[in-house]
């Protein structure tokens, strides 16, 4: 059997309804072994696959149900799964045959019958299914019971009232303690499905049932283990020891070959740790979690990607996991691009003073690769590294200068963008490189880099001899520039004037720019800011200078770290789509169930303090109308709002770091003393509390590490053009 | 969970289409074709449009695709796709357009069995083969005992093994296959060297054999706890086939199991310490002005001279504007492949303790657009039989069966590199 297999490719040809009908009719005679009819049915199935509507053949195909050949029965059933729903008027023809199969001696046939019936969710079929299912859920054969368990979920999806009225949910609960592990696992899956519905019954586990499920773990199939491990999040430990004992039993699953089992076990462990007290055990769990996570990187690239996106979240919440393993995240030359980009972020997160040199050497290597996004992100990471780890700043800046030497446009642009932040992080240290930057002014065509360079010129206009000339050139096409650049030009022109108020050029320049901004431009932000500067300068130029050139809070990597409460919540979705996009599912998937840590006497006090309640589902029901590709949820726009110059307001607008609101916290000076320390040496991760009373939006720092740059950040798309197709 | 499962060919034609849920229409296949198949720059294996997510895995010229409308467990979806591919491979020998088309009816049967309402179900190949076959089965004359034996197995605690296996000669073959990953800097320092090990077993054993398996390993969870280990090999992590009792491994470190019949992967492991690199590559690559590049590349073998490396393939990257390359090799063949911008040097065999050197010069055309050569790493593929880079050896394999038969065991070792043994220059 393992060799070659079938020869059915010849049936992959488009055919006409009439032809098939005639062939089926002709096949009825002299078809002793049913080979003729089998052939016609294969042709029909092939045509269904190709997307040809075969539903007119309904009555003809159904006739074949009488044939005692299993293969034919399965093909007819497949046909029914496809077209049964649209043939409500004729479906009664096959009910007797279904009922007969439901009572067949062979358990495989019984299961096949209820499985197929439950795929045809129309009242006539559901009616007969309801009766049969009641028997099948108590069938003596476990295979039938495990099929019946899933059938309940199907029935519930089609007709919740019918399922509840007939007591199927209670019957499923009974199956949770079935003697057969496969049945238990499917009952769990089914109840989870029902419990996740907004109109469904609530599915929670108590300690007794949770322990029974854990006992079934060893005998379940790998998929069953996933369903069971996943369901442990529905158990809320009341005592620390309950959580701890359970975690110890989950821990052994980390050695499983199936990566989904491993990730789901990790999800359960991370969840249970919120309710634990035993610090030693928690450290042990963190230690045990690292190696299996690294091993996931030997799987196929798709699973690697899932693992990497999750690791990025896990190491923020539990910094002791993988803290010594930065090397395993070094990119291989032939890694797919999505793996490389995800690794890069983890490398940055795991970088510390001890490994900064190695990480920097790698990043430099990547900066010469081919993929533009990857190179840009590598350059950006070098800059972020210098901000994060002050002892490495010198070599990082040196590396950036070498990269500027390459004159590759996008490399230079990225370097300029990060250097702007470097200047803010280390005032008075690297200004000597400004002339080198100015030499590359012409190669900056991307707005972000141009704005960054303009900020540098404005900020250090007193140190750049020909600043007024440069500004003169830059404002030449003022009206054609993007708003981002115009805003930067406006602020820089004002700064230049304040520095060099004696210079005629700067006087004319600021006048010219203010006039453009207030009279010619349509953008309200630009106009408002223009007016504000104008009045400031008009009323009292000296005070204006103090305000515009006020000392800026030093930039830090504080905003890199996601808010603890938000992380706790997001980690409840470990391994799922939400963990790939770093978004709670209810914010981008219609009808998705949100999750939140449940309070209990055992819940860690800090976790309780930062609890984020489940957000109201806010996915619009109709086709979504949005401008551009960005996500639509209000939460995200709030985050963007904070970072955008409009809201941040005032003089600092142009130079605000990402996640603007957190800059207030920086003033505490805490992170200045210990810029890369604190959270990264990972000792006491449970005691850290990022921005306890900080931004109102806990997700504001979500994309923090790479500031405004998240072109490559994976995100769900809302594409109104495609809405019709769903 | 999974709402639909598709297989597409390279042109985006649908070869298999199965909807598990009514929340999608078949026309969703068109969306995937537009978004992924006809898109030349796909940058993620997952694409989410609105609430619909497409997960795809490529195999040969096919796309294996699962579509979901919920917050699906992404790892599970991909593992399911991998499993489908493995099952198809076992049934048809290979997975490509031809074999899928030739077996499409069987595939529909399989995916109806291994997935119900989007929830993956028992997918143990050995069990599946007992009741999903290409032979014609009359639905009326399957004896009830026969079918309940199947269902018990499909839902049982050892769902991977039939009880009625019989062999005249009881044999078990163990293959330890190690893949070495190396990343070496231009200065010759090892940036990263690790071993992905796979222990494959082919068990031809009668009855229900209870196996115990022993290695010279030591699983190191905390590297700082390292102390005198003797000749034990440090494994960073290991993962086991479904059949291995994880609780027993956790408490006593013994690997015990009832094996599936035939071939399966018993365990995988990872080792990062004391990795013995079988081949050492010492490149000297000099750019002479802008007109040529000279290569002197030495390959040394670093193992016992009774062993040898075979199928050695070294890929030396050349600049994009290379016109011709002149190569001199004492051993094997070296050829410039313009399509891939590499010189491919193939050496059928190098004995332990030997070294061979290639010298070559690449001529370049002058280009108006001067761009720095990115210098991708040199890549080396090879195989060394009876050698493990980690130093792992099989200490014992014991088979216990109630009929107390004698069994013969064979162990082989292979270390190889393919695509991830890289030397920068």
Which residues of B62-184 form beta strands (DSSP E)? 62-68, 115-116, 119-120, 171-184
For residue A8, list chain B residues with Cβ-Cβ distance below 8 A. 101-105
A469 burial type by CB count under 10 A (0-12 exposed, 13-18 middle, 19+ buried): exposed
Average pLDDT over residues A362-380: 93
Residue A415 has pLDDT above 50, yes or no: yes
Q: Which of A5, A73, A182 sits opposite B134 (nearest CB)?
A: A5
| Cβ within 8 Å of residue A508, ≥6 positions away | none
Is B288 an interface residue toward A (CB < 8 Å)? no
What is the share, in percent, of chain B residues with pLDDT greater than 90?
A: 71
Residue numbers of the domain that contains B237 = 171-276+387-423
Please indicate, yes or no, if residue B192 is contained in any of the structural domains.
yes
Please indicate, yes or no, if residue B128 is contained in any of the structural domains.
no
Distance from CA of B207 to the nearest CA of A (A): 20
Q: Would you state the pLDDT for residue B142?
A: 65
For residue B236, list chain A residues with Cβ-Cβ distance below 8 A. 291, 294-295
**Interface contact B92-A4, CB threshold 8 A:** yes
Weakest-pLDDT range from A439-443, A508-512, B44-48, B154-158: B154-158
* DSSP designation for A205: B
Is B368 an interface residue toward A (CB < 8 Å)? no
Please indicate, yes or no, if residue B11 is contained in any of the structural domains.
yes
* DSSP designation for A717: B
Confidence of residue A7 (pLDDT cuts 50, 70, 90): confident
Q: Are residues A136 and A110 in contact, defined by beta-carbon separation less than 8 angstroms?
A: yes
Q: In 3D, which of A430, A493, A421, A427 has the Cα closest to residue A457?
A: A493
- CA-CA distance, A34 to A318, in Å (whole number)? 63
- Together in a domain, B362 and B417: no
Helix (H, G, I), strand (E, B) or coil at A137: coil
**Interface contact B14-A7, CB threshold 8 A:** no
pLDDT tens by residue, A195-245: 999 887 889 999 999 999 999 998 899 999 999 999 999 999 999 999 999
Residue B294 has pLDDT above 50, yes or no: yes
Domain spans, chain A: 427-549, 558-609
Residue B273 has pLDDT above 90, yes or no: no
Q: What are phi and psi of B310, to 5 degrees?
A: -120, 165
Q: Are residues B139 and A163 in contact, defined by beta-carbon separation less than 8 angstroms?
A: no
- CA-CA distance, B124 to B114, in Å (whole number)? 9
- B/e letters for B155-166, b = 16+ CB within 10 Å, e = fewer, are bbbbbbbbeebe
Domain count for chain B, please give it.
Answer: 3
Q: Are residues B275 and B390 in contact, defined by beta-carbon separation less than 8 angstroms?
A: yes
Q: Which of B68, B139, B221 sits opposite A287 (nearest CB)?
A: B221
**Interface contact B14-A50, CB threshold 8 A:** yes
- CA-CA distance, A411 to A143, in Å (whole number)? 60
Confidence of residue A621 (pLDDT cuts 50, 70, 90): very low
pLDDT tens by residue, A637-650: 333 333 333 333 33
Residue to substitute from B70, B155, B266, B320, interface A, most A β-carbons within 10 A: B155
Q: In 3D, which of B42, B204, B311 has the Cα closest to residue A302?
A: B42
Q: Which of B15, B70, B246 sits opposite A255 (nearest CB)?
A: B246
Average pLDDT over residues B99-120: 96
- CA-CA distance, B120 to B128, in Å (whole number)? 13
Widest CA span of chain B, in angstroms? Answer: 81
Identify the domain boundary among B87, B106, B123: B123
- CA-CA distance, B5 to A722, in Å (whole number)? 20
Q: Would you state the pLDDT for residue A407?
A: 87
Q: Which of B98, B159, B240 sits opposite A9 (nearest CB)?
A: B98
H or E element at residue B279: strand B279-288
- Together in a domain, B246 and B302: no
For residue A183, list chain B residues with Cβ-Cβ distance below 8 A. 155
Helix axes A372-388, A409-425, angle to 10 degrees: 20
Please indicate, yes or no, if residue B186 is contained in any of the structural domains.
yes
In chain A, which residue's Cα lies nearest the Cα of B372? A406
CATH number at residue B32: 3.30.450.60
Mean pLDDT across chain B, nearest whole number? Answer: 90
Helix axes A279-295, A259-273, angle to 10 degrees: 160
- Together in a domain, B263 and B402: yes
- Together in a domain, B179 and B267: yes
pLDDT tens by residue, B232-250: 888 888 999 989 998 888 8
- Together in a domain, B272 and B323: no
For residue B200, list chain A residues with Cβ-Cβ distance below 8 A. none
Q: In 3D, which of A703, A687, A713, A710 has the Cα closest to residue A564?
A: A687
For residue A157, list chain B residues with Cβ-Cβ distance below 8 A. 21-22
Confidence of residue A254 (pLDDT cuts 50, 70, 90): very high
- Together in a domain, B314 and B238: no
Mean pLDDT across chain A, nearest whole number? Answer: 84
- Together in a domain, B19 and B99: yes
Distance from CA of A144 to the nearest CA of B (A): 8
Is B138 an interface residue toward A (CB < 8 Å)? yes
Please indicate, yes or no, if residue B138 is contained in any of the structural domains.
no
Q: Are residues A224 and B76 in contact, defined by beta-carbon separation less than 8 angstroms?
A: no
Q: In 3D, which of A177, A103, A176, A194 has the Cα closest to residue A144?
A: A103
Count of Cβ atoms closer than 10 Å to residue B305 Cβ: 10
Q: Are residues A137 and A168 in contact, defined by beta-carbon separation less than 8 angstroms?
A: yes
Q: Would you state the pLDDT for residue B230?
A: 58
- Together in a domain, B404 and B359: no
- Together in a domain, B250 and B302: no
- Together in a domain, B353 and B257: no
Average pLDDT over residues B328-341: 94
**Interface contact B372-A408, CB threshold 8 A:** yes
Q: Would you state the pLDDT for residue B170?
A: 94
**Interface contact B223-A324, CB threshold 8 A:** yes
Please indicate, yes or no, if residue B146 is contained in any of the structural domains.
no
Average pLDDT over residues A354-362: 95
Q: Are residues B210 and B399 in contact, defined by beta-carbon separation less than 8 angstroms?
A: yes
Beta strands at B394-400 and B46-49: parallel, antiparallel or unpaired: unpaired
Please indicate, yes or no, if residue B163 is contained in any of the structural domains.
no
Weakest-pLDDT range from A98-102, A618-622, B88-92, B230-234: A618-622
Q: In 3D, which of A47, A86, A79, A83 has the Cα closest to residue A64?
A: A79
Confidence of residue A681 (pLDDT cuts 50, 70, 90): very low
CATH number at residue B244: 2.60.40.1170
- Together in a domain, B12 and B119: yes
End-to-end CA, chain B? 47
**Interface contact A221-B121, CB threshold 8 A:** yes
Confidence of residue A428 (pLDDT cuts 50, 70, 90): confident
Distance from CA of A578 to the nearest CA of B (A): 7
Q: Would you state the pLDDT for residue A228?
A: 97
Q: Which of B106, B123, B236 sits opposite A294 (nearest CB)?
A: B236
- Together in a domain, B272 and B396: yes
Q: Would you state the pLDDT for residue A338?
A: 96
In chain A, which residue's Cα lies nearest the Cα of B100? A9
- CA-CA distance, B76 to A258, in Å (whole number)? 9
Confidence of residue A622 (pLDDT cuts 50, 70, 90): very low
Confidence of residue B371 (pLDDT cuts 50, 70, 90): low
In chain A, which residue's Cα lies nearest the Cα of B148? A107
- CA-CA distance, B60 to A211, in Å (whole number)? 44
Q: Would you state the pLDDT for residue A1?
A: 40
Please indicate, yes or no, if residue B232 is contained in any of the structural domains.
yes
Distance from CA of B402 to the nearest CA of A (A): 22
Q: Are residues B299 and B355 in contact, defined by beta-carbon separation less than 8 angstroms?
A: yes
Residue A365 has pLDDT above 50, yes or no: yes
Chain B from 106 to 135: CB within 8 A of any A CB:
106, 108-109, 112, 116-117, 119-124, 129, 131, 133-134
Task: Look at chain B and count its residues.
Answer: 425
* Cα pseudo-dihedral A691, A696, A699, A701, rounded to 10: -50
For residue A154, list chain B residues with Cβ-Cβ distance below 8 A. 117
pLDDT tens by residue, A552-597: 877 776 666 778 899 999 999 999 999 999 999 999 998 888 899 9
For residue A69, list chain B residues with Cβ-Cβ distance below 8 A. 136-139
| Cβ within 8 Å of residue A573, ≥6 positions away | A267, A579, A584, A585, A595, B71
């Amino acid at each position: 059997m393992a060799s070659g297999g079938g020869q059915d490719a010849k049936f992959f040809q488009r055919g006409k309804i009439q032809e098939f009908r005639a062939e089926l009719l002709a096949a009825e005679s002299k078809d002793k072994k049913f080979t003729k009819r089998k052939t016609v049915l294969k042709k029909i199935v092939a045509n269904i696959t190709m997307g040809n509507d075969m539903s007119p053949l309904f009555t003809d195909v159904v006739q074949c149900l009488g044939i005692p050949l299993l293969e034919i029965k399965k093909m007819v059933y497949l046909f029914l799964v496809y077209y049964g729903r649209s043939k409500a008027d004729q479906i009664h023809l096959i009910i007797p045959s279904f009922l007969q199969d439901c009572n067949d001696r062979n358990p495989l046939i019984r299961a096949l019958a209820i499985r197929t019936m439950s795929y045809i969710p129309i009242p006539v079929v559901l009616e007969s299914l309801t009766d049969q299912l009641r028997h099948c859920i108590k069938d003596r054969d476990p295979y039938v019971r495990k099929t019946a368990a899933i059938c309940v979920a199907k029935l519930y999806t089609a007709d919740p009232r019918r399922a509840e009225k007939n007591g199927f949910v209670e019957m499923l609960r009974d199956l949770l303690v079935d003697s057969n592990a496969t049945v238990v696992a499917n009952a769990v899956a089914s109840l989870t499905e029902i419990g996740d519905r907004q109109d469904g019954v609530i599915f929670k586990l108590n300690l007794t049932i949770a322990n029974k499920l854990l006992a079934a773990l060893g005998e379940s199939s790998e998929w069953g283990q996933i369903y069971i491990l996943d369901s442990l999040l529905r158990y809320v430990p009341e005592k620390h020891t309950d959580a701890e004992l359970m975690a110890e039993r989950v821990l052994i699953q980390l050695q499983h070959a199936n990566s989904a089992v491993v990730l789901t076990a990790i999800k359960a462990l991370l969840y249970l740790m919120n309710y634990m007290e035993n610090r030693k055990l928690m450290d042990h769990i963190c230690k045990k979690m690292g190696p299996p996570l690294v091993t996931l990187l030997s799987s196929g690239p798709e699973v690697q990607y899932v693992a990497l996106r999750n690791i990025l979240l896990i190491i923020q919440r539990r910094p002791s996991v993988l803290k010594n393993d930065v090397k395993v995240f070094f990119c291989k030359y032939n890694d797919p691009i999505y793996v490389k980009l995800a690794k890069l972020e983890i490398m940055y997160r795991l970088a510390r003073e001890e490994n900064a040199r190695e990480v920097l050497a790698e990043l430099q290597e990547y900066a010469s690769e081919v993929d533009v996004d990857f190179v840009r992100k590598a350059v950006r990471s070098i800059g972020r590294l210098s901000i994060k780890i002050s002892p490495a700043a010198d070599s990082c800046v040196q590396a950036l200068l070498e990269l500027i030497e390459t004159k590759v446009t996008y490399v230079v642009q990225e370097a300029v963008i990060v250097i702007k932040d470097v200047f803010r992080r280390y005032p008075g240290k690297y200004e000597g490189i400004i002339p080198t930057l100015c030499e590359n002014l012409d190669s900056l065509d991307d707005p972000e880099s141009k704005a960054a360079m303009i900020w540098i010129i404005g900020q250090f206009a007193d140190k750049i001899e020909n600043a007024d000339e440069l500004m003169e050139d830059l404002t030449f096409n003022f009206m054609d520039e993007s708003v981002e650049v115009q805003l930067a030009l406006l602020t820089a022109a004002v700064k230049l004037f304040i520095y060099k108020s004696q210079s005629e050029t700067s006087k004319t320049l600021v006048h010219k720019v203010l006039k453009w901004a207030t009279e010619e431009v349509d953008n309200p932000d630009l106009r408002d800011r223009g007016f504000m500067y104008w009045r400031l300068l008009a009323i009292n130029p000296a005070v204006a200078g103090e305000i515009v050139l006020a000392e800026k809070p030093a930039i830090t990597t504080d905003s890199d770290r996601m808010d603890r409460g938000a992380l706790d919540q997001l980690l409840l979705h470990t391994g799922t789509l939400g963990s790939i996009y770093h978004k709670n599912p209810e914010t981008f998937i219609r009808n998705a169930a949100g999750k939140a840590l449940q309070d209990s006497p055992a819940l860690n006090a800090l976790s309780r303090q930062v609890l984020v309640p489940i957000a109201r589902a806010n996915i619009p029901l109709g086709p979504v109308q949005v401008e551009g590709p960005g996500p639509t949820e209000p939460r995200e726009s709030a985050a963007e709002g904070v970072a955008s110059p409009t809201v941040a307001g005032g003089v600092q607008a142009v130079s605000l770091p990402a996640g603007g609101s957190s800059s207030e916290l920086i003033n505490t000076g805490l992170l200045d003393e210990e810029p890369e320390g604190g959270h990264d040496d990972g000792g006491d991760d449970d005691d850290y509390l990022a921005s306890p009373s900080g931004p109102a939006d806990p997700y504001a720092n979500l994309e923090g590490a790479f500031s405004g740059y998240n072109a490559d950040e994976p995100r769900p798309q809302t594409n109104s053009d495609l809405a019709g197709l769903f | 969970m999974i709402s639909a499962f598709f297989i597409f060919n390279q042109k985006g034609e649908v070869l298999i289409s199965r909807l598990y849920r009514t929340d999608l229409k078949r026309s969703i296949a068109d969306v995937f074709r537009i978004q992924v198949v006809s898109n030349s720059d796909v940058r993620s294996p997952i694409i989410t449009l609105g609430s619909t997510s497409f997960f795809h895995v490529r195999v040969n010229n096919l796309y294996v695709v699962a579509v979901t409308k919920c917050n699906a467990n992404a790892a599970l979806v991909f593992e399911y796709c991998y499993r489908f591919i493995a099952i198809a491979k076992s049934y048809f020998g290979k997975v490509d357009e031809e074999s899928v088309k030739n077996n499409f009816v069987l595939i529909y049967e399989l995916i109806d069995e291994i997935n119900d309402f989007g929830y993956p179900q028992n997918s143990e190949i050995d069990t599946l083969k007992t009741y999903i076959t290409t032979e014609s089965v009359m639905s009326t004359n399957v004896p009830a005992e026969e079918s309940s034996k199947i269902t018990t197995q499909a839902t049982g605690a050892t769902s991977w093994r039939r009880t009625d296996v019989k062999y005249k000669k009881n044999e078990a073959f163990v293959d330890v296959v190690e893949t070495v990953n190396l990343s070496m800097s231009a200065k010759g320092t090892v940036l990263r060297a690790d071993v992905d090990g796979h222990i494959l077993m082919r068990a031809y054993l009668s009855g229900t054999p209870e196996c115990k398996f022993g290695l010279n390993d030591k699983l190191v969870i905390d590297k700082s706890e390292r102390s005198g280990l003797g000749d034990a090999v440090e494994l960073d992590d290991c993962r086991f086939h479904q059949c291995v009792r994880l609780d027993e491994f956790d408490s006593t470190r013994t690997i015990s199991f009832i094996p599936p019949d035939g071939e399966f992967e018993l365990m995988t492991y990872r080792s990062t310490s004391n990795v013995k690199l079988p081949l050492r590559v010492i490149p000297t690559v000099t750019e002479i002005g802008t007109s040529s590049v000279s290569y002197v590349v030495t390959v040394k073998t670093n193992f016992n001279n009774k062993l040898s490396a075979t199928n050695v393939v070294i890929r030396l990257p050349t600049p994009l504007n290379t016109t011709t390359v002149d190569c001199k090799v004492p051993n094997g063949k070296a050829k410039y492949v313009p399509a891939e911008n590499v010189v491919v040097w193939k050496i059928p065999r190098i004995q332990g303790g030997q070294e061979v050197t290639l010298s070559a010069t690449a001529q370049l055309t002058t280009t108006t657009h001067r761009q720095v050569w990115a210098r991708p790493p040199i890549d080396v593929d090879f195989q060394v039989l009876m050698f493990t880079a980690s130093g792992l050896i099989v200490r014992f394999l014991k088979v216990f069966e109630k009929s107390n038969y004698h069994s013969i065991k064979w162990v082989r070792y292979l270390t190889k590199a393919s695509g991830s043994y890289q030397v920068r220059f």
